[in-house]
């Protein structure tokens, strides 16, 4: 065969081969694209909570160069804030971003995977989830509802709340209508308050109108943005109800299990990164905004006294007893949580608490 004829035939074959390869590759690439609708419980662009959820969604898309095509829906854009759980469990959406204690009515164990009264701080809950059996219990709980959940943000220790009167004793809580979800709301109910569960976007209007007398939300940064200072004067700390509120990305379990191990790892990495980034952002902003609340808005910062905290503690033990009695799983979740609190918290007393106390003493803080 002449060299010219060989090259000509080879070229034709090459073009044909490329065409076949192209025809095979295009559908394969299209099939690799994965749709991921994320519904959240937060208002769009809300600092910290909303923007953190949006960052997570964008990060998943960016880390896969758009191969996982993420559509993010803030509260009310696709479903209501408290409808996010059912939307994902049913498979209508692939994931939610929320505080899992919103679902405690379905099972009290959900509360422990956000925060519970006298619970775990940010560093403590990270240790529990990652290395002390927390994730395994969370998987057991969420699997019963067709979900898979991962840590995806934290607010740290929250404030005790906004009140339209001074709280000098537990008796002052009686009759108060207070927006407070989770087991913290159950504690307030034990003390005579009427807990109300409202999504973030509805709190301000209810506080201003007098439909509620008090509210907790997050901390100075978020609370300043919400303008609660326009409706309540007294700002109490520290919040016994949420000492380290962990946020979650909850995914439809069937969808999660359909992903490749590498795609699962991408989502885990994006969620873990947001877990750290969000906490850093809250720490960077809360001090600044607390000063603005006090100096610009005339807010009166008050600390719950020891007698009130003792009342919180007594009520919390009753609430925990009721939660544990719900089921074997609820009891095992509580026992695991309590063991982590004793272990990690005991070390924290020797390390962080002792150090901060001495640092503040030396610096005169």
Show the 3-state SS of 6-66: HHHHHHHHHHHHHHHHHHHHHHHHHHHCEEEEEEECCCCCCCCHHHHHHHHHHHHHHHCCC
Question: What local confidence, expressed as pLDDT, does residue 232 receive?
Answer: 97
The DSSP string of 140-197 is HHHHTTTEEEEEEEE--SPP-EEESS---SGGGGTT-EEE--HHHHHHHHHTT-EEE-
List Cβ neighbours of 278 (8 Å cut-off, separation of 6 or more).
Answer: 48, 52, 153, 154, 155, 247
Mean pLDDT by 10 residues, the chain (365 residues): 45 42 42 91 96 98 97 98 98 98 97 98 98 98 98 97 97 97 97 95 96 97 97 97 97 98 98 98 98 98 98 98 98 98 97 96 95
Q: Which fold has domain 33-154+244-283?
A: D-Maltodextrin-Binding Protein; domain 2 (3.40.190)
How many Cβ atoms are within 10 Å of 83's Cβ, its own excluded? 16
Question: What local confidence, expressed as pLDDT, does residue 126 receive?
Answer: 98
Question: What local confidence, expressed as pLDDT, does residue 22 receive?
Answer: 39
State the DSSP H helix or E strand holding residue 69, giving kind and residue range, or none if neither.
strand 68-73
d(CA 356, CA 339): 24
Bond preceding residue 238 cis, omega within 30 of 0: yes
Comparing CA positions, the residue from 360, 275, 341, 358 lying closest to residue 117 is 341
Surface-to-core class of residue 33, CB atoms within 10 Å of its CB (0-12 exposed, 13-18 middle, 19+ buried):
exposed
Please say whether the beta carbons of 159 and 236 come within 8 A: yes
Counting DSSP H helices and E strands in the chain, the numbers are 13, 11
Question: What local confidence, expressed as pLDDT, does residue 320 receive?
Answer: 98
List Cβ neighbours of 131 (8 Å cut-off, separation of 6 or more).
Answer: none
Q: Compute CA distances 239 → 116, 160, 270, whole Å.
A: 11, 4, 29
d(CA 17, CA 57): 39
Please say whether the beta carbons of 188 and 212 come within 8 A: no
Please say whether the beta carbons of 179 and 216 come within 8 A: yes
Comparing CA positions, the residue from 108, 160, 174, 206 lying closest to residue 302 is 160
Please say whether the beta carbons of 102 and 181 come within 8 A: yes
Question: What local confidence, expressed as pLDDT, does residue 18 receive?
Answer: 41
Per domain, the residue ranges of the chain are 33-154+244-283
Residue 251 backbone dihedrals phi, psi, to 5 degrees: -115, 150
Radius of gyration of the chain from Cα atoms?
Answer: 25
Cα within 13 Å of Cα(168), Cβ side: 2
Question: What local confidence, expressed as pLDDT, does residue 159 receive?
Answer: 98
Surface-to-core class of residue 225, CB atoms within 10 Å of its CB (0-12 exposed, 13-18 middle, 19+ buried):
middle
Question: What local confidence, expressed as pLDDT, does residue 32 receive?
Answer: 85
């Amino acid at each position: 065969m002449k060299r010219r004829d060989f090259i000509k035939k080879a070229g034709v074959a090459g073009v044909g081969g490329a065409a076949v390869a192209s025809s095979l590759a295009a559908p394969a690439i299209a099939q690799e694209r994965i749709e991921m609708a994320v519904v959240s419980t937060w208002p769009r662009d809300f600092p910290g909570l909303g923007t953190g959820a949006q960052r997570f969604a964008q990060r998943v898309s960016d880390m896969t160069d758009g191969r996982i095509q993420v559509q993010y829906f803030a509260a009310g854009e696709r479903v209501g804030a408290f409808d996010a759980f059912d939307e994902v469990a049913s498979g209508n959406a692939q994931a939610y971003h929320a505080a899992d204690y919103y679902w405690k009515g379905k099972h009290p164990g959900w509360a422990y995977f956000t925060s519970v009264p006298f619970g775990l701080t940010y560093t403590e809950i990270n240790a529990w989830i990652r290395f002390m059996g927390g994730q395994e219990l969370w998987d057991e709980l969420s699997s019963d509802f067709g979900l898979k959940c991962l840590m995806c943000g934290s607010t740290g220790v929250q404030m005790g709340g906004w009140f339209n009167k001074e709280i000098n004793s537990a008796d002052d809580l009686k009759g108060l209508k207070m927006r407070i979800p989770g087991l913290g709301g159950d504690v307030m109910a034990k003390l005579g308050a009427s807990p109300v569960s409202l999504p973030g976007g509805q709190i301000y209007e209810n506080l201003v109108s007098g439909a509620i007398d008090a509210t907790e939300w997050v901390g100075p940064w978020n609370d300043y943005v919400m303008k609660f200072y326009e409706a309540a004067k007294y700002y109490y700390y520290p919040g016994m109800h949420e000492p380290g509120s962990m946020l979650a990305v909850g995914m439809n379990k069937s969808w999660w299990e359909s992903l490749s191990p590498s795609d699962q790892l991408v989502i885990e990495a994006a969620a873990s990164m947001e877990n750290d980034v969000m906490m850093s952002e809250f720490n960077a902003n809360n001090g600044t905004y607390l000063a603005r609340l006090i100096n610009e808005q005339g807010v009166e910062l008050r600390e719950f006294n020891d007698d009130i905290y003792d009342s919180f503690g007594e009520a919390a033990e009753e609430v925990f007893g009721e939660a544990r009695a719900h089921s074997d799983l609820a009891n095992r979740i509580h026992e695991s949580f309590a063991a982590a609190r004793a272990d990690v918290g005991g070390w924290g007393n020797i390390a962080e608490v002792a150090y901060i106390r001495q640092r503040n003493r030396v610096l005169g803080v």
